Chain A
Amino acid sequence: MRTTLRILQYEWKDLLRGKWVAGYGIFFLVLTDLLLRFAGSGANVLISLTNVMLLFIPLAALIYGVLYLYQSREFVELLLAQPISRNSLYWGIYGGLSVPLTGAFLVGVALPLTWHGVWTSEALASALLVLGMGSLLTLLFIGLGFWLGFAFYEDRIKGFGFALIAWLVMAVLYDALVLLVIYVFGDYPLEKPVLAMSVLNPIDLARIVILLKFDISALMGYTGAVFSRFFGSAWGMVAALFCMGLWWSIPLWRGQRIFTKRDF
């Protein structure tokens, strides 16, 4: 545990000095500030922010997760020759990457919200939800990146390729599948199957939970009512968190298995 924290701390310093994380944070800062200046009310800004966030965070986290493993290969080998366990090292690297990246996102979004005074009143809960979902997606997709990165540790092209494909599938193609199901089985009541499908994809899950929070459920008619009721219930929240948890833990666990077993 102590070593994990040491690794995390040093890596964190190292990352912060690199321009990537700063750039990532500044991107969200500028985006949020511009949206607040030009897109009007708090709810609109948060919805636009959600749009960008759902697209960009998974991509950035995946790519950066994979890239960081490749970049830090020698560092990892250096540390593996030291008297520390592979588990400490693995969690150290994961923490060292996900903490700054999540932090950059949170700071980048929260600062403009603060100086534009959006934290007040009714926007607070929605803003917290958006920040929470963004953080969750960051943690989850870095984990997925780690899995892919370690699975294709010797073949960077493959690693990057699969990361991009994973992103494309989850951000776009999965929804195409949902649409296809809706089209093919359009004559049946589909709310529940579609609900199940949405819960299975973390990007969709985050998107829908946020949309429902923003009262767009009224737009969604009966479907929205079904979804609202599901996510409003204790069961729904547990199921959603459980699925998010699976998406977070399974890739990380697979990555850890590969990391502790593989040769360097």
Chain B
Amino acid sequence: MIRSGRGGKSFRVVAILALLGAAAFPLYWMFVTSTTPSSELFAADARLIPKPSEIGVYREAFGGTSVTTWVRNSAIVAVGTTVLSIALAIFPAYALSRFRFRGMGVVGFGLFITQMLPEAMLVVPLYAIFGDLALLNTLSGLILANSAFTVPVITWILKGAIDGVPIDIEEAARIDGCSRLDIVLGVVLPLVAPTLAAAAVIAFFHGWNEYIFAQTLISDQDLRTASVGLAGFVGELSTPVHTVMAIGLMYTLPAVIFYLFVQRYVVAGMTAGSVKG
């Protein structure tokens, strides 16, 4: 039980601030580092306050590199992965939840098996296949490769949520004249909206952060994603740390904004009140 009263409340405020600080500090540290000149980077007394005079590093980052293109490519890949994976996962998830068919266990287990194979192992065969299919050097190819990893996870997550939708509601819809497709799109999906949002978060971040495929399957400079572009700064002899931090920050912010946008949908309790338990 959480204690109420003034003491309890202030304790909670302090605890929340501490957690928030721990989560936000790396971002702040990135910002501070990005405004620290290279010469001061390894000074004994690290600075904690950003240096406004060094803010020009952001202009440099935008002007001197293709960071806007990279972030745009990353966004295309992330959004594409999200849309494709959810679209592909909904129907198998529904089928696994509602139908009994021969080989059902094998299908379910097969989805798990795909999660056991590391991406690095699949890069080479995937490269060969994508070469044949003319998917190398395309963002759609990258979206496809990423989705192959997110679809099984999302299928299982959605299956779990659909299991929780009372069958009575679906039967009522059948009697009211819904086809199976109408039921999935019009009744089941709205009821699993919170899980759908959570699945979207998983797919989006997978697409946004993915590195190995983006590095291997894309060689065209203009199609690079931010993860690859950022890694390109790490040189053999020197690394412009403050530029990397500036770009890193720009790479992080869209993802944070996406999460803030989606998280309000991640609320439970949508089905409360439909069926008396």
Co-assembled chains A and B: no
Q: Which residues of A contact B (CB under 8 A)?
A: none
Which residue numbers of B lie inside 8 Å of A, CB to CB?
Answer: none
